[in-house]
Amino acid sequence: DDRFNVFHCKRCRAHLVTTDAELANLPRRRTDGALVLDARLQVVKLYTNKREACKVVRREKGIERQYVHACSSCDQDVAYTSKSHEADLELVYLLDSSVDVPWHRMKSPWTCKVCGYICQNQAQLELHRKQRQHTEEMEKEQEASNE
């Protein structure tokens, strides 16, 4: 399904995570740069093994407990949560160094909704709309026909 993005292990290419999160809007954690998936707002399905012990990391403001998820195939650490594995899944932090992110599937925020032309910035998109005479009404009609 085109709505879902699949993340793989960089080491062994095993399937790790499926989510409907929009890649262009994925935030990064300030402390370590990990990609953040919010399971309360998006579909997040993990295909990982949960490590039994938590990892303790020292930070400027104190210590942090990380409940680590490992690749089910090669056992490499690929993600962590800040709450125990028994708690409901809320925030999942993906380690960019271990997870292959499907950036090629990222949707550009500057895509013409009428013809699908991808622009590099907002000014280029507006110029494209003007040149092609694409109106907001045409965009709404196109969106309605896609649903």
* Token output for 3: 């709505």
Q: Which residue has the higher pLDDT, 6 or 2?
A: 6
β 62-71/44-46 pair status: unpaired
Query: 20-32 pLDDT, tens per residue?
Result: 998 877 899 988 9
What sign results for the dihedral spanned by CA atoms 2, 92, 23, 10? Answer: negative
Whether the predicted pLDDT of 146 surpasses 70? no
Q: pTM value?
A: 0.72
Lowest-pLDDT choice from 6-10, 50-54, 113-117, 127-131: 113-117
